[in-house]
Amino acid sequence: MKVGEIRNKLIEKGLKVTPQRIAILEAIVKLNNHPTAENIIDYIRKNHPNIATATVYKVLDALVENGLIKKVKTEKDIMRYDAVMESHHHLYCSESDRIEDYKDNELNELLEKYFEKKKIPDFKIEDIKLQIIGKFIKNK
């Protein structure tokens, strides 16, 4: 994702284009794999040493609210963020904090078909995500 592209997305959403917002979105994209606010701050401060912690949190909220990034569900007390906006699933390592994307259209279609038939009573589905928990095999 180029800076121009990020700039456009901000404009589309009616958000002011600021160096902080660009840096934060860039960081999430580049870091990839679901960084925490702290990860993002550490990364950004290399080139942008004066950014305030509160600014990062506020920008993250704004980006989430405007659908430019997503929060990732975890069972930890630390929020993680995702710049991959297409609907996808996650591989959660059962022994570490590693979370990887899992994209699988065949699976998406299977699920869609399944839930077209099998309705859940009193519930309207908007999105389905798999948490696939397991171990990454070191492919050394």
Partner DNA sequence: TGTCTAATGAGAATAATTCTCTTTTAATAA
Partner DNA sequence: TTATTAAAAGAGAATTATTCTCATTAGACA
Residues in the site for DNA, rule: CB under 7 A? 10-11, 15-21, 36-38, 50-55, 57-59, 61-62, 77-79
Q: Is residue 97 within the footprint of its own copies (CB under 8 A)?
A: no
Q: Which of 41, 42, 49, 98 is nearest to 72 (CA)?
A: 98
Residue number, 22 or 37, with CB nearest to its own copies: 37
Q: Distance between CA 4 and CA 9 in Å, rounded?
A: 9
Q: Which of 34, 75, 40, 84 is nearest to 59 (CA)?
A: 40
CA distances from 101 to 8, 89, 97 (A): 25, 6, 13
Residue number, 29 or 55, with CB nearest to Zn ion: 29
Task: Give strand pairing partners of 92.
Answer: 99, 133
Q: Is 6 exposed, middle or buried (0-12, 13-18, 19+ CB in 10 A)?
A: buried
Residue number, 79 or 130, with CB nearest to DNA: 79
Residue number, 86 or 106, with CB nearest to its own copies: 106
Q: Cβ 17 to DNA, closest distance in Å?
A: 4
Q: Cβ 80 to DNA, closest distance in Å?
A: 8
Q: Distance between CA 92 and CA 66 in Å, rounded?
A: 26
122 binds, among its own copies, Zn ion, DNA, none (CB under 5 to 8 A by kind): its own copies
Q: Cβ 30 to its own copies, closest distance in Å?
A: 22
75 binds, among its own copies, Mn ion, DNA, none (CB under 5 to 8 A by kind): its own copies
